[in-house]
Structure 1
Amino acid sequence: MKTKHAGGRPPKLSSLDSPKIEQVLKENRRLSLKNLALKCATVAPPVHFSTLRRFLKSEGYKRRLAHRKPLLGIRERRLRRRWHYKTRGLDWRSVIFTDEAQVCASNKGRIWVTCKDNERFLPDFLAPRVPKDVSVLVWGGIWHGGRTPLVRISTSSSAGKRKGFTGELYRHQILKPHLGPAFLRLNNDWRAYGGARVLEDGNRIHFTRFCRAEKGRFNIKGLFHPPNSPDLNCIEHAWAELKRRLNLIEPCPGTKDQLWEAAQRVWTEIPLQFINNLVLSMKKRRNTIRHNLVGPTTY
């Protein structure tokens, strides 16, 4: 009994062409499909880029948006390995995660509305354009079961050459009124288990002699944090949630004072369970570092 051949036109690319196309693909992953089709025509039958797209999809390949991650060189990877070693056995519920962030009033990109042709320029169908300089620099801290107030950083009295945020300002605006008392409260709860820790990034203003002296008065114990590693500080996701909620506010804040009031309100509205889940995710992040050979993570 003869088998019936499948009808239709045979495919232009077969499994025999797969190794050749993969070799061309691995030479440059950023080639567009049109340029990739032209380059693959030298080692395989020439095809349209849409045909090549279907063939790559059948082989498990897909065009994706490249994620932007900090560059991790040899030094950064070595320090991430050191962080993994130093945090073994650490209970992340005893850590205060702190950081600064720039909060901006967003223009929210394209906003689609449904209207007639003669209604396009009515106030209800217009999107306000916010100046780019409407932004505030804030500081915050989170831990399992709590958070610090959102602090607006003022650089008007800065003694630096560029009038930026300095260690003296960090000491007077952050350490003395907010971080120190928060550490004492958490450290009292974890005194029987080795005490609390404070995680700060590698910004040099955190380690000036003024800040070290102030930390000594509160007996603050720091936790090592590797450079170029925002994925190892869970407060970054709290900042992302804050900015996401700010973008939902209508109308968009038009001045710095309006933006600051909205940011304060939104910061207190973030659920405490969300913060607790971020802190508890640090154990999974540490395991990801081990399995990923101290490379970039999905966080």
Structure 2
Amino acid sequence: MTRSLNQSTIDSVLTLLDSGHSYAQIKAQIPEISKSSIGNICSKYRPELDKPVGGRPRKLNPYATRYAVRLVTNNNSVSTRQATQTLCGLTGQSIHPKTVKRALKRAGLVPVKKPRKPKLLQRHVNERLAFAEAHQHWTVDDWKRVLWSDETKINRLGSDGVHWAWKRRGEGLNPQMIVPTANFGGGSLMFWGCMGWNGTGFGCKLERTLTKEMYVEILGDEFSRSLEYLGMEPGEVIFQQDNASSHKAKICLQWFDDHGIELLEWPALSPDLNPIENLWAELKRRLGEYEEPPNGILELWDRVQDVWNSFGKEYCQKLIKSMPERIALVLEACGRSISY
């Protein structure tokens, strides 16, 4: 029984357990203690440790595993490969990243993609929180009135890369799990599009950086045709756009006034609140399903149009129905980024 052992012996056993020694190895170093007593000590003081099993011992002992967990959870910018390099130096062993991944999963962690989100300053957080508070009582019927819009970059080859982090199950995002982004660092093709409750509207390819003059042309063409196509009346629709300078120019705001279009006051740096961002992700996913990459921009544009026109209203409605939950999550996060 463990209570017949002195504390010094118990401490010695715990030290050996923490360093990854088996019951047999501990017994060899402390002959006066039985294996059953070692098991009792382990059950009482180290219940999280794996029970001894046959076969080759794991490369990462409990101490190294706990160290790996601390590495990736205390600093979510540390990748599995970086953690592996640190552990190799710590243990003096050659360790494969897959070994570290398995150890982290056994410890209850799950890998997650680091979302690319804008870096929020406090004023952005405050604006997002104020927006959520102002719209926390909106129902899906209220959001049905909104026509969502945005521009996106579409690469002809590949993507802008995926970054991974580790988090505990049920844990939300923290700032270190987010990859900061900058607005449009150039790319293969720029696309403007919009969507509403009844589906996607008309989109267009941007031949160059969007200017206020180009945007007024879009408003008079693709935007206006989208309203008619989607059955949305100018006097009833609420138009969502981000705060790009080309959108907020005086001639653009005057155009909205002249045509009786109500604008949704949008918080800066809030793509996670815009359901059309999820539409972009699905658009790019479907483009990636082609067996061969497009031969050029013209072929890419043909594919973009085909995929864009394939979206049904049911998919758009699914995204718009998420708005009450997005608002609730922003309130819960006190204005910070959310997992959308």
TM-score, with structure 2 as normaliser: 0.63
Q: Distance in 2 between matches of 1:52 and 1:251?
A: 35
Q: Is the 8 A contact 2:154 2:189 kept in 1?
A: yes
Equivalent of 1:88, from 133, 136, 145? Answer: 136
Partner secondary structure for residue 137 of structure 1: strand
- Conserved? CA contact 1:83–1:225, under 8 Å: yes
Extract unaligned runs of 5+ from structure 1.
Answer: 110-132, 156-163
SS state of the match for residue 308, structure 2?
A: helix
Which residue number in structure 2 is paired with residue 69 of structure 1? Answer: 117
State the alpha-carbon separation in 2 of the partners of residues 52 and 154 from structure 1.
47
Quote the Cα distance in structure 2 between the aligned partners of 1:285 and 1:260: 31
Alignment-mate amino acid for residue 327 of structure 2: R
Secondary structure, counterpart of 1:205 in structure 2: coil
| Alpha-carbon distance between aligned partners in 1 of 2:328 and 2:93, rounded to the nearest angstrom | 44
Q: In structure 1, what is the Cα distance between the partners aligned to 2:288 and 2:101?
A: 36
Work out whether residues 108 and 247 of structure 1, in 8 Å CA contact, stay in contact via their aligned partners in 2. no
Q: Is the 8 A contact 1:180 1:215 kept in 2?
A: no
Q: Contact 2:72–2:83 (CA<8 Å) still a contact in 1?
A: no
Which residue is 2:148 aligned to?
97
Deviation at 1:62, TM superposition (A): 5.2
Amino acid at match of 1:296: S
Change in CA separation of 1:63 and 1:134 when aligned onto 2, cut-off 3 Å: closer
User: Does structure 1 conserve the Cα–Cα contact (< 8 Å) formed by 2:192 and 2:203?
Assistant: yes
Aligned equivalents of 2:252, 2:301: Cα separation in 1:
26
- Among 183, 187, 195, the alignment partner of 2:233 is 187
Query: Aligned partners of 2:143 and 2:118: how far apart in 1?
Result: 24
Task: Say if 1:262 and 1:181 are closer, same or farther in 2 by CA, change over 3 A.
Answer: closer
How big is the alpha-carbon RMSD for the aligned residues of Structure 1 and Structure 2? 3.6
Query: In the alignment, which residue of structure 1 is the partner of 2:192?
Result: 139
Report percent identity of matched pairs: 25
Q: After the TM superposition, which residues 201-280 of structure 1 pair with which residues of structure 2 at under 5 Å, given as runs?
A: 201-280=242-321
* 1:97-132 alpha-carbon deviations (Å, 9 max, x no partner): 0011222222589xxxxxxxxxxxxxxxxxxxxxxx
Question: Residue in 1 aligned with 2:220?
Answer: 176
For each residue in 1:223-274, what CA deviation from the matched residue of structure 2 results, as whole angstroms up to 9, or x when unmatched?
A: 1222222111111111111122222234432222222222112111122211
CA contact (8 A) 2:152 2:280 kept: yes
Q: Is the 8 A contact 2:273 2:326 kept in 1?
A: yes
Distance 1:167 1:292, change over 3 A: same
For residues 165-222 of structure 1, the C-alpha deviation after alignment (integer angstroms, 9 at most, x for no partner) is 21011101x111232454474236xx6xxx3211101101101111011111211111
Q: Which residue does 1:35 correspond to in 2?
A: 86
